[in-house]
Amino acid sequence: MTKAVDFHALHAGPDVLVLPNAWDAASAALMQDAGAKAVATSSAAVAWARGYADGDLLPVPVLLDVIAGITRVTSAPVTADIEGGFTDDLETLTQTVSAVIGAGAVGINLEDGGRDPDLHARKIEAAREAGVRSGVALFINARTDVYLRGLAEGEAALAETLRRARLYAGAGAGGVFVPGPVDETLIGQLAAGIALPLNIMGRAGAPTAARLAELGVRRLSSATGPFRAAYGVLNRTVADYLKTGDTSAFTEAGQGLPDLNKRFG
């Protein structure tokens, strides 16, 4: 319960909660050790690391195994990206969220994607019920993909995002995640119009954490950035190694990496 309370408090400011998104125990441990106050998962990164495409295709037992591995090696609060919940059946969703809590997570991301917003509100209610049943003050971060999927444009997109935010807040969400926007004016409008803590996705052209705080944002997510960075290095160094057999690129790229055997021992 303490981690859940702590995680809620991290959204109260005054600073933006800067969240790195992990995909396994090792990445989560390194993120916490680097100073992260909490650790999130990225659904895409978790899926790719386990050999699945993103998009509600990862088997729930695999996700639970990843969450349990992360919470085993970290002491910081962990919030899990569960995409759209892997089902539209509300009782099944409640069971899934209960299992996610049982694996150690104290928060979830639940996205509407291209689904009916009213259905998504009912899914938020089901997730909230799972938290109540589990005795955990679950932080439900309701993600809306109006901008990311281009479901509307201009003023219509802003109006629809704010409408969904109100709907999801009424269903029991603790925060609202609006991935896509990088324009400061738009982000400021979103922060002003959404009563819950606003989460923005870090991407090229996005304001700094300090500037986001000034705009009223409370949470920043790295999304797949760390995964792409890590695997981009792997892709390049292995390609060079296969050409020449020279391992110096591995040595150089691995400088500063702590003793993981000692970390997990």
Q: Is 198 strand, coil or helix? A: strand
Residues 75 and 159 in one domain: yes
Residues 102 and 210 in one domain: yes
- pTM of the predicted structure, to 2 decimals: 0.97
Residue 25 has pLDDT above 70, yes or no: yes
Residues 250 and 206 in one domain: no
Residues 254 and 210 in one domain: no
Q: How does pLDDT run across 99-131, given as a tens digit for each residue? A: 999 999 999 999 999 999 999 999 999 999 999
Q: Residue 240: which domain range?
A: 225-265
Residues 155 and 86 in one domain: yes
Pair 121, 89: CB distance under 8 Å = no
What is the predicted pLDDT for the residue at 202? 98
Split at pLDDT 50, 70, 90, the class of 13 is: confident
What is the predicted pLDDT for the residue at 1? 63
Residues 147 and 240 in one domain: no
Residues 70 and 15 in one domain: yes
Query: Is the backbone peptide bond immediately before 59 cis, with ω within 30 degrees of 0?
Result: no
3-state SS string for 135-147: CCCCEEEEECCCC
Number of domains forming the structure of the chain: 2
Residues contacting 179, CB < 8 A, separation 6+: 143, 145, 147, 148, 200, 201, 221, 223
Residues contacting 154, CB < 8 A, separation 6+: none
Query: What mean pLDDT is predicted for residues 211-239?
Result: 98
Residues 201 and 240 in one domain: no
Query: What mean pLDDT is predicted for residues 239-263?
Result: 97
Residues 229 and 195 in one domain: no
With a pLDDT cut of 90, the percent of the chain lying above it is: 99
Residues 123 and 194 in one domain: yes
CATH of the domain at 53: 3.20.20.60
Burial-class residue 60 by CB neighbours within 10 Å (0-12, 13-18, 19+): middle
DSSP assignment string, 20-70: -EESSHHHHHHHHHTT-SSEEE-HHHHHHHTT--SSS-S-HHHHHHHHHHH
Mean pLDDT of the chain: 98
Distances (CA, A) of 175 to 89, 223, 232: 23, 16, 32
Residues 174 and 250 in one domain: no
Residues 217 and 239 in one domain: no
Please provide the distance, in angstroms rounded to a whole number, between the alpha carbons at the two ends of the chain.
27
